[in-house]
A and B are shown apart, each in its own frame.
Chain A
Amino acid sequence: MAELKFIDGYPEYMRKLIDVVNKTRPQRKDYTPKPMTMAEREEVLKLCHPDYAPGGKRQILFGPNAGDLAPNEVVDLLEANPLVDEDKFIITNPDYSVDILIIGGGLAGTTAALWANNSGVPAEKILLVNKLRHGDSNSMMAEGGTQAADRENDSPVIHYLDTIGGGHFANKPDVVEALVNDAPFIFEWLCSLGVMFDRDEEGNFVEKSFGGGSRKRMHACRDYTGLEELRVLRDEFRCRQIPYLEFYPVIEFLTDGNRVTGAILYNLETGEYKIVQAKAIILATGGFGRLHIRGFPTTNHYGATADGIVLAYRVGAKLRDTDTVQYHPTGAAYPQQIIGLLLTEKLRGMGAQPLNIDGEAFVYPLEPRDVEAASFIRECYIRGKGIVTPTGMRGVWLDTPLIDVKNGPGAIEKSFPGMFRMFKRFGIDMRRDPVLVFPTLHYQNGGVETDPWGRTNVEGLWVAGEVSGGVHGKNRLMGNSTLDCLVFGRRAGISTAEYLKSNPPFGKLTLEHLKRYKKMLSDAGIKTTKKAPILFPDYRGKAVLARRIDIFD
């Protein structure tokens, strides 16, 4: 193959296509395609959304969700063998005895720890364990913002309606109610801790539009919203000297047969295990992007491997809405080094338009995410109007220069320093040139079912954040994920503290639940050599793996 000639980050042939975009920009400046009708939405979803396309899913054959559909990659893990063998594993005296064990230190887990502490649980009676570092999470990568209905023309009622409409009316009403009602209080709390939300000259929140929203409700911290929220909460957590462990994933729960009573931790560097005994456990392990469902790239962090739903299902927790996966419409499709990484919805919220190869605005930019994503796939794979990259990916343009046209020069650098910096690193100036996008695996819509306080059907087990299901129904809206973590992290912290007031005893530490689980697997005729939780994806080169020998085991 001849060497491609690059001009300012793009190969020559793509540069010619950018000329087309530049040519149509003046006409598009004041034009926005109409939002789809409900019927049009359904049509494009059925035609082009990965959830609706045939294949890719199968039934869960056993347990509380027997009969429900879930992605193959998820069912594989639910059907997998545990990492420990209940007949051989030695449960020692506990290395840690705590009132509350929190698993996962993203926004949900960190918030839970702070609110348990606020509610009277002493810092030293809490333990937060992390698979990676405290803060390594999808929360940290949340760019666009957090929702709260706090403006005059908005209300929790409208927030409720937007949320359930976006979720295809499958959301669990009582948790959505908690979400929308608590949101303004969460902002009061974050401000009191020192989170720097974007403000106008009068000191009011700057609030922007977003996909599926009917009011400007998106609060951001530039395009580092999750980073800012989480680093403040983590700092507060550190200041209170709440104990935490890093590089210590939970590889299995311990139960007394029914109630969750503890967990097995695994030191990723030494291979040693530790036993934790806890009166209450809050699971906040996030989602499953690194399973690369249907072969999609992902926006998710390295540890997003569905550990939480695997562990919870083994102790009998009920899941819901396992059949849907969120693909974010605007993942980077070029250059190769950043494929799949998130380009925040806020770009469209501030005026960037999706365009096809002819420079036409082919879709309303702020449909709910599933509808927007499906329309991009339709443009690329049904209508043949995508742009093909040098590595064979197809994508549509996102006309970022329009942001400065609509908001004034400097808007991109001010509102999107993270995006601007990322493209600059690879030689692309998004103020001048559009960027190429294609849907990317973004979010686990479903998960463990809870009541409005994060309680599950399993005694002793609470969940919060992406690992939970119900609040987003079949499709989450932008700005509701960080809010979900904050609202239900707080509620789980308060609720566990409340539970502790009845002075529950420590429970017996056993692996009885694994016997039950394995019987269900064999009764369902499932045979597998897979093990779970997998903890990390494996991206090692194929040639290396083919010649790898393990001499120490």
Chain B
Amino acid sequence: MLEEKKNIMDEIAEANKSVVTGIDEKDIQHWIQISIMGRKYRVPAGLTIMQAMEFAGYRFIRSCGCRAGFCGACTTVYRIEGDYRLKTALACQTRADDGMYLVQIPFTPAQRANYDINQLTPGIETLLKIYPEILKCLGCNTCTKACPQDIDVMEYIACGKRGDIEKMAEISFDCIQCGLCSIRCPAELAQYNYAQLARRLFGKYILRIPEHLKKRLEEIKAGKFEAELKKLMSMPVEELRKIYASRDIEQE
């Protein structure tokens, strides 16, 4: 029995090998050729751009963060051989394809403002005061095309220009602040920083603190749960187990 359990963990480790310790050359079925900053490398098919660069021998310091599409560290600009157009992607969320010419952007030097969120109003006056350059948007839609999250960046900038903070917050919500919109913008805007301000204004001034939360805060301050909590904290485990096992579970 014990032997069998050990085997399960070994089997699992074996099945995970390709993503944990790297692929063995002998197991590679298909190869592709990519170019990293102008130099060509042969890498296995089916990896992300990030994994392909690592296979080629790169060890990341910059341009690698969460490796799951949430942090915006691995912004990548690429072109496919035979096509003149420049494309943008997250290296951890895009499959490396044959003929890719790749370069990564380690840092976005976009400007952001400092403000005291408590001193602002949630309207167009705030946006225009803090980021007056938002009016310079040319409406070319390059930002939207560059966004690896498929956010309609130009649309939320348009919302900002007419003071629709709520819509700007909603549309920009999935922004991972990678900065590609700003890097590509011919009007030199820092869209993602304006969106951050809009979301904070919306979250603070329009959403507000719900009543049920306020009520609970009062109850805690009044010590409503103190005695019961202390009782649980000093209860023997066997008794706790019983209470836990018989607690009622809220259904859908």
Q: What CA separation (Å) do A152 and B117 show in the bound complex?
A: 31
Instruction: Please indicate which of the listed interface residues A162, A216, A421, A539 has the most CB atoms of chain B within 10 Å of its own CB.
Output: A539
Report B-chain residues with C-beta under 8 Å of the C-beta of A239: 114-117
Q: Mark A212-234, 1 if CB is under 8 A from B, else 0.
A: 00111000011010111001100
Contact B61 A55 (CB under 8 A): no
Closest to A440 in B: B16
A336 touching B71, Cβ below 8 Å? no
Would you give the 0/1 interface string for B218-252, flagging 1 where the beta carbon is closer than 8 Å to chain A? 00100001001100111001001101110111101
- B17-25, B76-84, B131-139, B152-160: which one contacts chain A? B17-25
Q: How many residues of A contact B (CB 8 A)?
A: 115
B48-89 Cβ-contact flags toward A at 8 Å (1 or 0) = 100100111111111011111111010000000000000000
Q: Does B174 contact A (CB under 8 A)?
A: yes
A240 to B249, CA, bound (A): 44
Contact of A35 with B249 at beta-carbon distance under 8 Å, contacts A193-B200, A236-B117 already known:
yes
Q: A227-B176, A336-B46, A337-B51 are in contact. Are A47 and B5 (CB under 8 A)?
A: yes
A501 near B: Cβ within 8 Å?
A: no
The answer to whether B47 has its CB under 8 Å from any CB of chain A is: yes
Residues of B within 8 A of A238 (CB): 112, 114
Bound complex: CA of A240 vs CA of B116, how far in Å? 8
Q: Is the CB of B199 within 8 A of A294?
A: no
Interface centre among A140, A240, A268, A417 (most CB of B within 10 A): A140
Residues of chain A within 8 A (CB-CB) of B62 are 247
Which residues of the other chain, B, contact A55 by a CB distance below 8 angstroms? Answer: 6, 9
| B73–A392 touching, CB < 8 Å | no
Q: Given known contacts A136-B66, A140-B70, is B204 in contact with A203 (CB within 8 Å)?
A: no
Interface string of A541-553 (1 = CB under 8 A from B): 1111100100000
Residues from chain B with a CB closer than 8 A to the CB of A548 are 57
Selected contact of B59 from candidates A54, A56, A425, A538, CB within 8 Å: A538
Which of A10-18, A19-27, A77-85, A338-346 forms part of the interface with chain B? A338-346
Q: What are the residues of chain B within 8 A of A47 when measuring CB–CB?
A: 5
Cα(A54)–Cα(B16), bound, Å:
19
**B25 proximity list for chain A (CB < 8 A):** 542-543
Q: Is B149 an interface residue (CB 8 A)?
A: yes
Query: Assuming A157-B232, A336-B46, is B247 touching A214 (CB within 8 A)?
Result: yes
Contacts of A292 in B (CB 8 A): 20-21
A485 vs B65: C-alpha distance when bound (angstroms): 19
A158 → B minimal CB distance (Å):
7
CA distance A141 to B54 in the complex (A): 22
Q: Identify B13's interface contact among A54, A150, A295, CB under 8 A.
A: A295
The number of inter-chain residue pairs (CB within 8 angstroms) is: 288
Decide if B95 touches A426 in the complex (CB within 8 Å).
yes
Nearest Cβ in chain B — how far from A405, in angstroms? 13
Check A431 for interface membership: any CB of B closer than 8 A. Answer: no
CB neighbors of B among A134-158 (8 A): 135-136, 140-141, 149-153, 155-158
Nearest CB of chain B from residue A68's CB, rounded to whole Å: 20
Task: Assess A295 versus B229: contact at CB under 8 Å? Given A268-B61, A541-B55.
Answer: no
Q: In this assembly, does A273 line the interface, its C-beta being within 8 Å of a C-beta of chain B?
A: no
Chain A 248-278 interface residues, beta-carbon cutoff 8 Å to B: 268-269
Contact with B216, one of A184, A191, A197, A202 (Cβ below 8 angstroms): A184
Given contacts A136-B66, A165-B244, A541-B55, contact A48 B8 (CB under 8 A): yes
* Cα distance, A307 to B177, chains bound together (Å): 27
B250 touches A209 (CB 8 A): yes
Cβ-defined contact, A184 with B66, below 8 A: no
| Contact indicator A297/B16 (Cβ below 8 Å) | yes
A160 within 8 A of B: yes
Known interface pairs A232-B196, A391-B18; 5 further A-B residue pairs with C-beta atoms within 8 A, sorted by A's residue number: A48-B8, A141-B68, A193-B203, A205-B212, A235-B200
